[in-house]
Amino acid sequence: MIRKSFLSLSGLLLAGTASADWALNMPKGVTDLSLETYNLHMMVFWWCVGIGAVVFGVMIYSLIKHRKSKGVEPAKFSHSTTAEIVWTTIPVVILVLMAVPTAETMVRMEDSRNPDLTIVVTGYQWKWHYKYQDSDIEFYSSLARSSLEARRKQSGVDPFSVDNYLLDVDNPVVVPSGSKIRLLFTASDVIHSWWMPDFAIKKDAIPGIVNEAWFRPNEVGTYRGQCAELCGKDHGYMPIVVEVVEPEAFAAWVDSRNVEQ
Residues of span 51-90 touching another protein by CB under 8 A:
51-52, 55-56, 58-59, 62-63, 66-69, 72-80, 83-84, 87-88
The one segment of 19-27, 133-141, 171-179, 249-257 that binds another protein by CB under 8 A = 19-27
Measured distance CA(106)–CA(104) in Å, rounded: 5
Q: How far is the CB of 122 from another protein (least distance, A)?
A: 13
**Torsion angle, CA of 56/58/63/69, rounded to 10 degrees?**
170
Kindly state the smallest distance separating residue 159's Cβ from another protein, in Å.
4
> Of the two residues 34 and 250, which places its CB atom closer to another protein in the complex?
34
Q: Is 20 or 259 the residue whose CB approaches another protein more closely?
A: 20
The CA-atom distances, in angstroms, between 249 and each of 28, 177, 199, 229 are: 25, 10, 21, 33
Which of 32, 138, 170, 234 is the binder for another protein (CB under 8 A)?
Answer: 234
Can you give the length of the chain in residues?
Answer: 261
Minimum CB distance to another protein smaller for 66 or for 145: 66
Binding mask 88-127 for another protein (x = CB under 8 A): x--xx--x--xx--xx-xxx-xx-----------------
Q: Does 23 bind another protein (CB under 8 A)?
A: yes
- Contact status: 259 vs another protein (CB under 8 A): no
Task: Say how far apart CA 204 and CA 185 lie, in whole Å.
Answer: 7
Please work out, in degrees rounded to the nearest 5, the angle formed at the alpha carbon of residue 126 by the alpha carbons of 26 and 255.
85
Yes or no: say if 229 and 195 are a contact pair by the CB < 8 Å rule: no
Omega prior to 195 cis, within 30 of 0? no
End-to-end CA distance of the chain: 47
Nearer to another protein, 228 or 249 (CB): 228
Q: What is the smallest separation between the CB atom of 16 and another protein, expressed in angstroms?
A: 5
Q: Can you tell me which of 28, 35, 41, 178 binds another protein, judged by CB under 8 A?
A: 41
Per rule CB under 8 A, is residue 50 in the interface with another protein?
no
Residue range at the interface with another protein (CB under 8 A); choices 115-123, 173-181, 234-242, 248-256: 234-242
Q: In which element (H, E) is residue 139 found?
A: strand 138-141
Q: Is the CB of residue 169 less than 8 Å from the CB of residue 141?
A: yes
Binders of another protein among 171-230, rule CB under 8 A?
A: 185, 189-191, 193, 195, 197, 200-204, 206-209, 211-212, 225-230
Long-range contacts of range 106-114, CB-CB < 8 Å, 24 or more positions apart? Answer: 108/33, 108/36, 109/33, 109/213, 111/214, 112/182, 112/212, 112/213, 112/214, 114/180
